[in-house]
Structure 1
Amino acid sequence: MTFKIFITGVTGYIAGDALYVLARKYPDFEYSALVRSEGSAAKVRAAYPAVRVVLGSLDDADLLRREAAWADLVLHAADASDHEGAARAIAAGLVEGHSEARPGYWLHTGGNGILTYFDTVEDRLGQPSDRVFDDLDGVEVLTSLPDEAFHRNVDKIVLECGVAHASTVRTAIVCPPTIYGNGRGPVSGRSRQCYEMAKVILTRGYIPIIGTGQAKMGDVHIQDLTEAYVLLIEAALSGNASPELWGARGYHLTVTGEHTWGPLARTMAVKAQEMGLVKSDGELAEYKMDKEEALKTAGFEAISWGLNARCKGLRLPKFLGWKAEHPSLEEEVPGILRSEAERLGLL
């Protein structure tokens, strides 16, 4: 029987890149993809004629339920960490459509924003932190964060589904940090945090710094992140039901590196000048931002330049051999600047 995958978010950065790899590596799989508009659907069909496009939105609960029941595996990446209704619909469909003889798998895309909880409650922005999370010995900390934590409401739906229906639905939360690198999807291949920082440097000609600039966050190349999804899909395909991958302990921090926001901004600025993308008689000036100004400058992406989300991704390396294969964030800085300059018409 052909393995069936339902994907949300293929017009976006994460799932777009995942589909690019899956369609080439497993062309005989059956794929269905949720797409919101006919214009985007045409681009998906042009790139992947064999993919069954499903027109609809995350608010279409009945549609999501039907597709989740149909699929052997759901890869949910479209506003996955914040849309509670979509998560409930996917959970319901997986439960309704699967059995112990034919279990369903759910790869849910979370986000490291949940790890910024302590900065938020302690009213700390742009300050260093020694708190480091890990998904191996510290997985219970991740799965029991306070209900007020960013993304926690949706995480709970996924975790509860994977525990209450462990024999029929196997869930894994994939929790990426700052992502970088050009995506290979049919519509959008752009990430946010680092690219918005590059945009500010290129268009405003200053170095954005939040607080002391010493907040730290994990990072991962988009192609390494995609490999994490592929490895989990291959585990599902092989029937690997290890409790170290799914359910109560199925929480995977897909992090391969760490950066400090202030030094990253300075590195970007120096490289932008070296590449001739910013004209200046001397070094670019640093511009200190508070929360309100950061929001006005680049929305929540700019706020994140002052938040800590330090973590170690140990579970996937230990149980599936996942590792970094692509350039580090610092090595990718010229590529980030170049792609953003091209998007802005500066090249």
Structure 2
Amino acid sequence: MSLPYHVLLTGATGFVGGTTLAAFLEREDYKAGRVKITCLVRGEERAKLIKERLGVDVVVCDLADADVVRKAASEVDVILHTANADHPASGRAMLEGAKQRFDKTGKQTIFIHSSGTGALTDDAKGKFADPKIYQDRDCADIRAVPTTYVHRETDDLIMKASVEGYVRGYVVMPPLIYGRGRGPYSRTSVQIPALIRAALRLKQSIHVGPGLSIWNGVHVDDLVSLYFLLLDDALSGARKAPTGLECFYLCATDTYEWRELAAEIGKRLHAKGAIPTAEARPLKPEEVQDALGAWSDFAYGSNSRSAAGKAYDLGWKPKHPTGSNGLFDSIDKEYDAVIEEGKDEAPKVHIDEMNRALGS
């Protein structure tokens, strides 16, 4: 690939995309002038700040601006899409732009898409732990999840484009993401901050149903390091990372029951004097909407179990490895961030897209 290579990054004002941008600016290839970064940014004010403060190019548009998104995608070597896993229209526009580029130049676009293990959830409502653990060395079980389910439509578009060959696509599927972000705007994730805010509002930590369901977690910096591992492999002359039908990458490091997480939040917030008891309890039906929102069963009561395989095969070395309790240890800083942002903030979720993906 000719240098400098050109990257289109979406989601730079968000938690994951902002951390990705910060990490990009620290890379030696960026410092040496071998990378050009363009960020898709919604809103003139934020775009101006990113351009002036961080020195990267910006395209001001909403993901729904298909013509603008398509054109931007047609002009780059790499697309790193972190903005919204449930907006297939923008994914389709980016792929159309990549196809235009391929038809004109014969060059594949590297497409790294941030999806999530929300695509692997069930309807347990906290009542049981499912023994099924999804793997990624053989992605047949992942591909079998209907494309009408959460995240899956965009995932499938990228997989099919990779099979066709005009993009080299990778669908990264993080579980719950924790840790403090390093971007210019949003620096907190969704689930742990929402659980902390619910505990502060109800004066007690809560879980959905009995809280027996199991999820995984990954630190945001470890997630971003996987993006760059895939990018560097794709840029190399000796590519090892599978794409096409095997384009899905899992990256779980932590494993927890929802009731365990609730208990840890209760213990830590009580120790700070933020709530009157350390004991966690089930969320009452009449509390759901105000505490966690209508999608609480999906986000806080389901099973979503996965094991990273291909990432480790490629040499991924997370700084918060399995068994380190990094997720639980992050709660104190997550609490500080919640207080800084405002304890009454609503959960960060693309609610319209989520409702559509969940069939609401």
The question of a shared fold, defined as TM-score above 0.5 by the shorter chain, is answered with: yes
Q: CA deviation at 1:245?
A: 2.6
- Number of matched pairs: 331
- Equivalent residues in 2 for 1:18-97 (5 A)? 18-25=20-27, 26-27=30-31, 28=33, 29-49=35-55, 51-79=56-84, 81-97=85-101
1:104 alignment partner in structure 2:
109
Partner residue of 1:276 out of 273, 277, 284: 273
Residue ranges of structure 2 left out of the alignment (5+ in a row): 345-360
How far apart, in 1, do the equivalents of 2:330 and 2:99 lie? 42
1:323 alignment partner in structure 2:
317
How far apart, in 2, do the equivalents of 1:92 and 1:345 lie? 41
How far apart, in 1, do the equivalents of 2:290 and 2:218 lie? 27
Q: Are the equivalent residues in 2 in contact too, given 1:193–1:302 (CA < 8 A)?
A: no
SS at match of 1:161: helix
Q: CA deviation at 1:344?
A: 2.8
Tell me, yes or no, if structure 1 residue 312 matches structure 2 residue 307.
yes
Q: CA deviation at 1:223?
A: 0.5
Q: CA deviation at 1:40?
A: 1.2
Q: Are the equivalent residues in 1 in contact too, given 2:210–2:282 (CA < 8 A)?
A: no
2:243 alignment partner in structure 1:
246
Q: CA deviation at 1:345?
A: 7.0
SS at match of 1:313: coil
Tell me, yes or no, if structure 1 residue 5 matches structure 2 residue 2.
no
Matched residue type, 2:291: T
How far apart, in 1, do the equivalents of 2:228 and 2:294 lie? 29
How far apart, in 1, do the equivalents of 2:48 and 2:274 lie? 35
Change (3 A) 1:233 1:131: same
Tell me, yes or no, if structure 1 residue 157 matches structure 2 residue 157.
yes
1:76-131 CA deviation, whole Å, 9 max, x = no partner?
1111x211111111111111113685321100111111101xx23xxx31122111
Change (3 A) 1:59 1:343: closer
- Equivalent residues in 2 for 1:136-155 (5 A)? 136-137=137-138, 139-155=139-155
Q: Are the equivalent residues in 2 in contact too, given 1:214–1:262 (CA < 8 A)?
A: yes
Tell me, yes or no, if structure 1 residue 204 matches structure 2 residue 210.
no
Residue ranges of structure 1 left out of the alignment (5+ in a row): none
How far apart, in 2, do the equivalents of 1:235 and 1:302 lie? 37
Matched residue type, 1:54: V
Q: CA deviation at 1:300?
A: 5.4
2:234 alignment partner in structure 1:
236
SS at match of 1:107: strand
How far apart, in 1, do the equivalents of 2:343 and 2:255 lie? 30
1:222 alignment partner in structure 2:
220
SS at match of 1:70: coil
Change (3 A) 1:179 1:15: same
How far apart, in 2, do the equivalents of 1:62 and 1:344 lie? 36
How far apart, in 2, do the equivalents of 1:193 and 1:173 lie? 21
1:325-346 CA deviation, whole Å, 9 max, x = no partner?
0361012122222222333379
How far apart, in 2, do the equivalents of 1:210 and 1:200 lie? 12
Q: CA deviation at 1:284?
A: 4.2
How far apart, in 2, do the equivalents of 1:86 and 1:142 lie? 22
How far apart, in 1, do the equivalents of 2:295 and 2:330 lie? 19
Change (3 A) 1:102 1:275: same
Q: Are the equivalent residues in 2 in contact too, given 1:202–1:341 (CA < 8 A)?
A: no
Matched residue type, 1:20: A
Q: Are the equivalent residues in 2 in contact too, given 1:66–1:93 (CA < 8 A)?
A: yes
Change (3 A) 1:301 1:186: farther
Change (3 A) 1:345 1:195: closer
How far apart, in 2, do the equivalents of 1:345 and 1:113 lie? 25
2:356 alignment partner in structure 1:
none
Note the aligned Cα RMSD (angstroms): 2.0
TM-score (norm 2): 0.87
How far apart, in 2, do the equivalents of 1:95 and 1:146 lie? 25
